[in-house]
Structure 1
Amino acid sequence: MKINRTTERSIQIMQLIAKSGEGLEMDEICEKLSIPRTSCYDILVTLVHMGMLEVNTGIKRSYKIGINAYRIGMSYTNNRNISEIIAPALKGLSKELQKTCFFGVLEGNKIVYISKCEPENPIITTATIGTKNPVYNTSLGKAILSTMSEDKIRSIAGEIDFKPVTRFTLTDADALVENIKLSKKRGFALDERELEEHMECVGVPIFDEKRECIGAVSASSLYRKDEDYIALGEILKKRGLEISKSLGFMP
């Protein structure tokens, strides 16, 4: 297979610039990619002309990703089925954490489980794909609520029939609002044995290219006193951001 050198260099330049938040000068690009100045200049001029790069004119000219590159990236994202991205991400997450992982979406004041992936030695959970559970006592539900305003949360809470499913379940709107405030601060939500007394779950919201929450991902396992669920939440928060970015989300 014959590779066109100029096309290859053009893509390498764009990949390098994309990793740099502040943009790169031509000398930096030439040095990092070992490209002759004349060749690099011609490629940069062409990419700018095509809207794939933008030029910042200051003391020295620097280059950043252009609007046409963004549009092409968004077209790719929009044409992909969300499940094509979520399913393999859940599989990797489940393997990494050795926990059962879910992706769920909000439907009214319920959570609907859309995808599920279990580790090699799974812990039995009652939730299956298509199952609906209350939003107020699931980490998925609370993670999604954490992206909303307090007024919106209270509006949803007004439709909830709070029931003490376990002795740890939140039983009123005020308790839910305070719990969601904590979830917002941490960046992840906890189901602290609120749905099933023997299960503890951590959940994080997932965003799309419009920065809208489209659902949440969670990791579930048997409750253990010696497990650090805050540390687990921090890991899940990072992985959730990676999934959101794969859907086009730009923090």
Structure 2
Amino acid sequence: MPDTPADQQPPAGLKLDSTLSKGLVILEALAAAPGGLGVTELSRDLSLTKSTVFRLLQTLCAMGFARSTQDRRYEATLKTWQVGRRVVDNLNLRDLAADAMQMLSRESLETVYLGVPEGFSVIYIDKIDSQQPIRSWNPVGGAAPIQCVGTGKAILSVNYSQYRNALASRLTAYTDRSITSLAKLDADLQLAQKNGFAFDRGEFREGVIGFGAPICLPQGQAVAALGISMPEVNLRDGDLARLGKIVRQAADTVCARLASR
């Protein structure tokens, strides 16, 4: 079986339940594998017998955490995400992100959002409105396609393997700048990974652009994103790099607070 990261090693002398630990390792492998995995692959990669892998896969399927495909492979289901979402709900992200959002509001003078993933959308759970005469607006509780806005693309830049295949049939053209091919989305998210922030060029609403940076758990999973949304006419020379930098710094601050909990 693969090595466990040092910061996740069980305390010395603690006896683990071998069946449960093997099942969780299989679930983690499925969650990280776009297109799923077969029994043979799992057996080889995890150093488990095929009979053990098959038995545990049947249990995961019966519990709703995995499903079999027509080509006899297995995929993780969104039930794993639903469990994780309940954990996220208990983190009180609004309080953890409040200071960072205030900083973003002061530095950008634009509308600031805190968003979380919900299926193939990002839901805005908090915001600070811009005081600019021309501003973007979306209510708390509002939603946007996850691949079209800065906050959503920031989350995708970290969690993309969980979404990529399913997004192929969901790349709707909301504006003439919307990304409608996986190849272009791949390239866009690679750039977001490199820069540490995502940029929405007006891909959901005409003339409204946005920046987003992921908020991640210590294990690396993105559970939310901070973002700036603004009318394109407000963008000035140098703002692309400046706003991307401050949204990334703000998100990093919240990540550090999550890590210290």
Structure 1 runs (4+) greater than 3 angstroms displaced: 119-124, 224-227
Q: Which stretches in structure 2 are left out of the alignment for 5+ residues?
A: 1-88
Output the CA distance in 2 between the equivalents of 1:98 and 1:216.
18
Q: Which stretches in structure 1 are left out of the alignment for 5+ residues?
A: 1-77
Task: Please say if residues 109 and 159 of structure 1, whose CA atoms lie closer than 8 Å, have aligned partners that are also in contact.
Answer: no
Q: Which residues of 2 match residues 13-92 of structure 1 at below 5 A?
A: 81-92=92-103
Query: Residues 122 and 155 (structure 1 numbering): CA distance in 2 closer, same or farther, change over 3 Å?
Result: farther
Output the CA distance in 2 between the equivalents of 1:147 and 1:205.
8
Match of 1:119 in 2: 130
Residue 226 in structure 1 maps to residue 236 in structure 2: yes
Match of 1:165 in 2: 174
Match of 1:245 in 2: 256
Larger Rg: 1
Output the CA distance in 2 between the equivalents of 1:159 and 1:114.
27
Root-mean-square deviation (Å)? 2.4
Question: Cα offset for 1:123?
Answer: 4.1
Task: Please say if residues 211 and 229 of structure 2, whose CA atoms lie closer than 8 Å, have aligned partners that are also in contact.
Answer: yes
Task: Please say if residues 226 and 251 of structure 2, whose CA atoms lie closer than 8 Å, have aligned partners that are also in contact.
Answer: yes
Question: Cα offset for 1:114?
Answer: 0.7
Output the CA distance in 1 between the equivalents of 2:202 and 2:137.
13
Query: Residues 80 and 171 (structure 1 numbering): CA distance in 2 closer, same or farther, change over 3 Å?
Result: closer
Query: Residues 143 and 79 (structure 1 numbering): CA distance in 2 closer, same or farther, change over 3 Å?
Result: closer
Q: Which deviates more from structure 2 when the two are superposed, residues 115-124 or residues 169-178?
A: 115-124
Query: Residues 236 and 122 (structure 1 numbering): CA distance in 2 closer, same or farther, change over 3 Å?
Result: farther
Q: Which residues of 2 match residues 149-188 of structure 1 at below 5 A?
A: 149=160, 151-160=161-170, 162-188=171-197
Task: Please say if residues 139 and 203 of structure 1, whose CA atoms lie closer than 8 Å, have aligned partners that are also in contact.
Answer: yes
Output the CA distance in 2 between the equivalents of 1:87 and 1:136.
25
State percent identity of aligned pairs.
27
Query: Residues 169 and 248 (structure 1 numbering): CA distance in 2 closer, same or farther, change over 3 Å?
Result: same
Match of 2:112 in 1: 101
Task: Please say if residues 159 and 222 of structure 2, whose CA atoms lie closer than 8 Å, have aligned partners that are also in contact.
Answer: no
TM-score by length of 2: 0.59
Query: Residues 79 and 227 (structure 1 numbering): CA distance in 2 closer, same or farther, change over 3 Å?
Result: same
Q: Letter of the aligned partner of 1:234 in structure 2?
A: K
Query: Residues 240 and 123 (structure 1 numbering): CA distance in 2 closer, same or farther, change over 3 Å?
Result: farther
User: How many residues are paired up?
Assistant: 171
TM-score by length of 1: 0.61
